[in-house]
Structures are given as structure tokens and as C-alpha cells.
Amino acid sequence: MTQVQLFLSDIKIKHSFFALPFAAIACLIAAQGLSWRRVFAILVCMVAARSFAMGFNRILDYDIDGVVERTMHRPLANGKASVWWYLLFVSVSGLLFVLTSLLFLSPSAQLLSPVVLIGLAVYGLFKRFTWFAHFYLGFCLAMAPIAVVVALGQRLSYSVVALSVGIMFWTAGFDIIYSLQDRRDDLALGLHSVPVRFGSQGALFISNLCYAVCLVCFLIVSLGPNGGMFSKIALAPIAVLLIGSAWDSHRNVTGIKGNDTSESAKKSLDLGKAFFSWNVFIGFILLGGMLLDYFSGI
């Protein structure tokens, strides 16, 4: 594989669509000032910002990744990729984000674009100091709807704020689940996470609370001026998916209690479905409901 292919594979470029439905919802809420040119610019900025953030995080963590079983296969950790190439890709992604903002988006977006990159870059440092890292990751994704409204030069509404808060807690909820598989390594390396701080069962409880807050926030969005019958109906399958994610996580960690960090307990985790499969459709379901409301007027 080429250095470009290694980078794109490492940052899981296909996961960029995770936040796209929420950006699209923000576009519906702030429809004024919307054009296809700006929609394309927003799409480019989102992919560029995520590529910047993921690449920068890989650079910060490559020494840790080299000793963690789950991540030691990553290109920087195993020596297949060069840090200098990653720095180049990260720089190009950041430059693309700023230039696209300067050329196509509002003056506020142009002014704030470097601040956004700084905010994304520091995420990788949080787990070295605090278990709030999951919530900061959620905050980074939650910036997407707010950034869309700023990019369009519109004022923030309570619906957009509620959407962003919901995204923050939703992201924190599934990231806490995902981090359960690294609990043993995090303890050994002195890194911070909710599972390290509160144990496996405590982490699952906090994750469930995050999902509950997420649902309340999405309900607020559906009750707003841009919501309607279909966005309210969409909350039902979203709730089912969140409950399924929580149930799947509990099922996979029933053998882990307290400070159990044994290898057998670690290998008993099968959290891929809880992290990705259960959650990947949530944004698209809410977007589908909002689109039906937008075009039907119901």
C-alpha cells in the first residue's frame, strides 16, 4: 500500500459520514443562505477536519499504539508509515479546511477555522489527564451542526444547540463502550477513561445515562419549529438502536467486575457491534424523519 492508502485506511475515511447526517439536519434548520456551492464546501470542510483530527491523533499516539494490542497494527505503530508523511497529510487536510472556509463560507467561519483545528488537535491529549476525554470527543463531533450554522452566517437556534448536545452525549456513550476493550492497557499505561475510573459496570451505567440524555435532546429537536410527526416517529427506532447497543454491551461484559483486567476478560469483549453497527444508522434515521417533515409540512 502507498503512504496515501495507509493514511486513508488508518483514519477510516469511510467513517466520515458518521457526522454528515447531523450536518444535513443543521442545513435544514438553517436553510437560509443555503446553496449547492456552500453545501459542497461544508462537506469538504467536514471531511478535511476529520482527516486532520484523526491524523494528528495518530501522530500523538503512535508510541502508545505500539504497545497496545488492539492498535499495534496501525501503520505508524508498526513502522509501515512515516511520521513525516502523516505530518504532510495532516497539514494538507488542515490547509484544505481553512482555504475552503476562506473561499466559500461566512466571515465568522473564516475567522474561527484555525480555532476549530486547534480544538480538534488537542483531543489526543485529554486521555493523558482526564476521563472526560470521551465527552471532549463528543464535543468535537457536536461542533458539526453549530459549525454549519456559523458557515451559513445564520444565528444559532435552540434546536441546533439541542442537536449538538445530543450528539455530544451520544458520542460519549458509544466511545465509553468502545474504550472498555482498552481498559487493561489504559490501566497499565496510566491513561484515563471512564472504564478506568469507574470500572466496567460503572462505565456501562454512565454510557446508558449518556444515551438517555441524547434521546431527550433529539426529542427537543423534533419538537422544534423544524420538527414534526416524522421526526418524532424516528425517535422510536433510534431508541431501539440505543437500547440494543446498551444491551449488547452489558451482555459482553457480564464477566467483568470491579478491577478485573485479566486477559480472558479482555478477550471476552465483542464490542464492534455496540460501537458501530448499532450506532451507524442513528443520524440517518433522524435525518430521514426531518427530511420527511421538511417536504411534507406535517
Domains in the chain with CATH codes:
17-291 (1.10.357.140)
> What per-residue confidence (pLDDT) applies to 181?
85
Judge contact between 130 and 85, C-beta under 8 A: no
Judge contact between 162 and 213, C-beta under 8 A: no
The one-letter code for the residue type at 215 is L
Judge contact between 167 and 142, C-beta under 8 A: yes
How crowded is the C-beta side of 166, counted as CA atoms within 13 Å?
A: 28
d(CA 8, CA 79): 16
The one-letter code for the residue type at 265 is A
Q: Spell out the long-range contacts of 68-74 with Cβ–Cβ below 8 A and sequence spacing 24 or more.
A: 68/182, 68/185, 68/189, 69/185, 70/181, 70/182, 70/185, 74/10
Rounded to 5 degrees, φ, ψ at 262 are -65, 155
Residue 156 is classified by DSSP as: -
Flag residues of the chain having pLDDT under 70.
1, 31-34, 254-276, 297-298
d(CA 287, CA 26): 10
- In angstroms, the first-to-last Cα distance of the chain is 51
Neighbours of 180 (CB within 10 A): 25
* The model's pTM: 0.89
> What are the CA-CA distances from residue 212 to residues 103, 143, 217 (Å)?
40, 20, 9
Per-residue pLDDT tens digits for 41-62: 999 999 999 999 999 999 999 8
> What per-residue confidence (pLDDT) applies to 287?
93
> What per-residue confidence (pLDDT) applies to 298?
60
Q: How many residues does the chain have?
A: 298
Residue 154 is classified by DSSP as: -
Element (H, E) at 37: helix 36-65
| Average pLDDT value for the chain | 87
> What per-residue confidence (pLDDT) applies to 82?
87
- Would you report the helix, strand and coil content of the chain in percent, each value rounded to 5? 75, 0, 25
d(CA 221, CA 240): 18
> What per-residue confidence (pLDDT) applies to 37?
86
